[in-house]
Chain A
Amino acid sequence: MIPLNINGADHQIDADPDMPLLWVLRDLVGLTGTKYGCGIAQCGACTVHLDGEPTRACQTPVGDVGTARITTIEGLTGAAAEAVRAAWIEVDVPQCGYCQSGQIMAAAALLAENRAPTDADIDAALAGNLCRCATYFRIRKAVHLAARTLEG
């Protein structure tokens, strides 16, 4: 059994330590907000936070997580997260919505570190998150809006 802390709750997981955290979350724990897109850390749809750091769950063997606190889109809270969600809704970012869990996880992590990101900062922080609907123009707008909200 592998102990995990997911969204503040303790879990005991019966899995091979090589099993990617992505599939543990989705298929064993039932938290399906974290998405599968590529399996090779190229698309960012599976982004979760490990101790607040954006991490690709598809390339994270569950055995390597250790005591790190795992946060998924379902458990993402806090000022930055709320500002990002509100901005995403205000700007009407999502089209299909499939990649947006990962986009929001990445954007919230960016704003937690950088309260006034430039376009270049946003591009650098989110370049690993593919959106095939190409909602990028609105993602940039929404991150700026969230940053302004956080500045209050």
Chain B
Amino acid sequence: MDTAFLAGPRPAAGLDVSRRGFLLGAAAAAGGGLLVGFRRAEAAESGATDAAPVNPLEAYVHVRPDGGVTVLSAHFDMGQGSYHGLATLVVEELGADWTKVDVVGATGNTRAYGNLAWGGTAQGTGGSSTMVSSWRRYRTAGAAARMMLVAAAARAWNVPAAEITVDRGVLRHGADRRAGFGDMAAAAAALPVPAEVPLKAPGDWTQIGNGDLKRFDRAGKTTGRQDFTIDVRLPGMLTAVPVHPPRFGAKVKSFDAAPAKAVKGVVDVVETPRGLAVVADHTWAAMRGREALFVQWDETGAETRGSDEILADYTRRAAGAPDAWARQDGDLDGALAGAAKVVEATYTFPYLAHAAMEPLNAVARRAEDGVIEVWGGLQNTDTYHQAAARTAGVDPSRVRMHMMKSGGGFGRRGSPDSDVIIEAVAAAKALAWRAPVKMQWTREDDMAGGRYRPAYVHHMKAGLDADGNLVAWYDHIVGQSILRDVGFPLPDGAIDQISVEGSSTLPYAVPNLSVGLTTTQVGVPVLWWRSVGSTHTGYATEAFFDEVAEAAGRDPVAFRLSLLAEHPRHAAVLRAVAEMADWGGPVPAGRHRGVALHESFRSVVAQVAEVSVEGGTVRVHRVWCAVDCGVAVNPDVVKAQMEGAIGFGLGAVMGEELTLTGGVVDQTNYDGYTPLRIDAMPQVEVRILPSANAPTGVGEPGVPPLGPAVANAVHRATGKRLRRLPFARELG
């Protein structure tokens, strides 16, 4: 289960692959070559040894007989560059030739691919944890493979291993001995696994931290050759579109399939756990068949409230006392009562859709050998595997999962209810497995199909003493619990840390600080959305801090720095962005600047936004961004993720809002739900702070500071505080 990652304490960076927990192994591959990998030692506690060789389902690195290297990725790539990152770790230590490197998604063995950031007990990708989990084990696998190849060459040439060099897939001794990896792979596979596998010293790195390195997988993304799940084509494959109830929680009461089946190309209408599916020869026929279908819904249990009602309720409750406390330092009430000045504000956040470019989909079939095969964006890899097996009614060992790259994700491909995976398998099973089925949600299904960033209200108060010192801070958060909504059992009154992360971890030194939570029960399905809790806590805390700094008559950067003595990483990142933007220096006429700082997923990011406001229209011209993410494995990927996060975050605060009327989602496509377009994209400058620490998150941490940095700049331009998102609501 993913519980450890989601609910448990987050382990420190640089997770060790110790011999106690994971065993290094190697073997000959069935088709030839050398496999090196790890497994979780099942009997570690009993002290038993596990000397068996790794099997292909446990490998991280396959040195192929043709000399190429296949990296088997434990992590899903939704565009964030995880495949490239893992390949970089392997190439660095192995000395492989980038032009012969391939990465494929690996599945089906938790013992090998369990996410170390989640305790190693489940394979999956999320929480910006790919590098955290992989940093040691993929480098170690690459280094072990190299040692074994060198040992094989040393034996073949009868020379000392120390005299053999490795460069770009070639082993050399002196001027006359030379062999490709493929020539030595079989011999290497017969050798013992090295007892000690030293890793390169950082000063010797040529790939890790190399800012000139380009993503190895970019070419296929310029020619149309990169295949996603939507592009999977199998012999005899049918395409299905889902039929979901218009209101969350409703069920099929009755339906008449005849008009749908009368549409040319429609093969069948089948029942699925969530409704129905129209199955056809191709996508268009399925879509037309669905238009003709008549369904009556049983809406007894359905959510019928609109988002305005839901948020009005939240606002009322936010004004009252919280149900539970996430953090209580000092004496808040006393400090507020004794404060010379109290600042108070309420911040309101809408539901948000992930709206990834590739709508949700999955492909399922029963192969000739009886194994159930599933292709999809397998972010919750193990959970989906189990769900596919359960739905098919087979043992998990009879399920083969194919991890595809996805056209974005932003959290939506990691739904613990395995929604689209189950739908694909259920549809194929309902057809008695007579054909492979691609379950393809349309844009409308994707947008109105639930699993949103929850709506939240934050009621904030701060107290300043007579000298302008921040003596009290109160943050009451009201909204749904993601963990509870996706089915993780939380006892009543327990804090879902995801609801408060970023607020309960406020870095500023405030002697009297209370963060409260009121968890609501709403029938709108919710989920993690790029940067999760920090999507709202980052905004509420950093926009409110700006209000407090203004009340204190202090500069926003200087005031923050004065309260960050205990957080040197935060202070360094803030100083860096202030220097980049020449904070306090001259600003072009008509432009205004705001700053924000936030830690998420173990990384710290600060941003300065430069805006102009004309006739109620906010334009963000420039954003400076400083990030401390530990060692930047791929600096250019880190920069790309920061740039993308800035555009993603800007689109959200400017205009994204998912609303419901009477329980029905109002926005069904990109006309009503409006991510950022190129004409609103600012210039971005990113600085990565040098660090010797193990890598921390990159995919998500660029999002949270952007909204408050822009809001704080807009306040300087207009005097108006943007406390209800999106800005279009306040300024429109």
- Interface residues of chain A, those whose CB is within 8 Å of chain B, are 16, 19-20, 23, 26-28, 30-40, 42-43, 45, 72-74, 85, 88-90, 92-101, 104, 122-124, 126-140
Contact = CB atoms under 8 A, between A and B. Distances in A.
B218 A140 contact: no
B227 to A, nearest CB: 7
B78 interface: yes
B679 A85 contact: no
Interface in B641-680: 641, 643-648, 650-651, 669-671, 675-679
B354 to A, nearest CB: 8
Contacts of A33: 223-225
A134 B223 contact: no
Interface string B171-196: 00000000000000000000000000
B282 A23 contact: yes
B514 interface: no
A30 B647 CA distance: 33
A27 B669 contact: no
Given A35-B230, A45-B357, A97-B221, A127 B671 contact: no
A69 B428 CA distance: 38
B264 interface: yes
B129 interface: no
B214 A34 contact: no
B223 A74 contact: yes
B562 interface: no
B405 interface: yes
Contact of B284 (A19, A72, A124): A19
Given A45-B357, A97-B79, A136-B681, A92 B218 contact: yes
A42 B672 CA distance: 10
A126 B681 CA distance: 12
Interface of B: 78-81, 214-215, 218-228, 230-231, 233, 239, 264, 282-284, 355-359, 405-410, 442-443, 636, 640-641, 643-648, 650-651, 669-671, 675-679, 681-684
Given A42-B670, A89-B218, 7 more contacts: A28-B282, A33-B224, A39-B669, A95-B641, A96-B358, A96-B405, A97-B226
Contacts of B408: 96, 98, 132-133
10 contacts: A33-B225, A39-B443, A40-B670, A89-B222, A94-B218, A95-B81, A96-B405, A98-B228, A100-B221, A137-B681
Contacts of A139: 678
Given A35-B230, A92-B636, A127-B678, A132 B648 contact: yes
A20 B589 CA distance: 49
A135 B676 CA distance: 11
Nearest to B623: A137
Contacts of A23: 282-284
A32 B224 contact: yes
